[in-house]
């Protein structure tokens, strides 16, 4: 039974991250659509609200609940993991992921009410939060106690720098070619 629970946990972690990767992109499109003239603004906003609502409530939220539930079940079946330092760090990243998810829910609700409080530039940077958490968790789970914390911290910092450089490069390309 343990392997089935582990497989289900992994499946729902993947679908949860898929939702968390895509929802900020939809937020970006929604924010940019809000700046367009009528009737384009209303048409795009209506469609983006529907798309985000479906993604959020049909895929992302159920996946978050199921991934968390199966993860807790795994910890109940294997309580020895709670004594291992790598698991403490992993659970700290899971807490960060839940906070990221809840913040995304707050932004989702604001955009559903046509309240644009963030720029598309901010959302492009925000979009990388889930990526950084994913990298950290995967390396922790795979390397476990063999994980060198110094290299891990340096790796996360380098990843963050590379993501920021990628965003700047994309912005430069997009400014030269608005259709990119």
* Residue pLDDT tens, the chain, 180 long: 999 999 999 999 999 999 999 999 999 999 999 999 999 999 999 999 999 999 999 999 999 999 999 999 999 999 999 998 888 888 999 999 999 999 999 999 999 999 999 998 899 889 988 988 898 888 888 877 655 666 766 777 787 788 778 877 877 887 787 766
> Domain span at residue 52?
2-176
The span from the CA of 20 to the CA of 151, in Å, is 26
Residue 76 has a pLDDT of 96
The H or E element spanning position 179 is none
Split into its structural domains, the chain has a count of 1
Residue 163 has a pLDDT of 79
Q: Within 10 Å of residue 152's Cβ, how many Cβ atoms?
A: 17
Q: Is 90 annotated as a binding residue?
A: yes
Three-state DSSP at 1 gives coil
Residue 59 carries which DSSP code? I
The span from the CA of 139 to the CA of 81, in Å, is 16
Three-state DSSP at 78 gives coil
The span from the CA of 62 to the CA of 101, in Å, is 12
This prediction's pTM: 0.84
Residue 78 has a pLDDT of 94
Residue 180 has a pLDDT of 61
């Amino acid at each position: 039974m343990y392997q089935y629970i582990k497989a289900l946990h992994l499946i729902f972690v993947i679908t949860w991250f898929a939702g968390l990767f895509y929802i900020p992109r939809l937020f970006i499109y929604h924010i940019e659509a809000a700046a367009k003239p009528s009737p384009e603004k209303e048409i795009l906003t209506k469609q983006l609200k529907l798309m985000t609502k479906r993604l959020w409530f049909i895929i992302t939220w159920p996946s978050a609940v199921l991934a968390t539930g199966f993860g807790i079940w795994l910890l109940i079946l294997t309580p020895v993991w709670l004594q291992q330092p790598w698991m403490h760090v992993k659970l700290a990243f899971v807490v960060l992921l839940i906070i990221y998810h809840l913040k995304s829910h707050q932004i989702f609700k604001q955009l559903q009410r046509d309240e644009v409080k963030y720029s598309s530039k901010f959302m492009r940077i925000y979009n990388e939060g889930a990526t950084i958490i994913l990298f950290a968790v995967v390396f922790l789970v795979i390397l476990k106690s063999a994980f060198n914390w110094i290299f891990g911290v340096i790796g996360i910092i380098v990843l963050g720098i590379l993501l920021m450089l990628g965003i700047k490069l994309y912005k430069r390309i997009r400014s030269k070619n608005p259709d990119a």
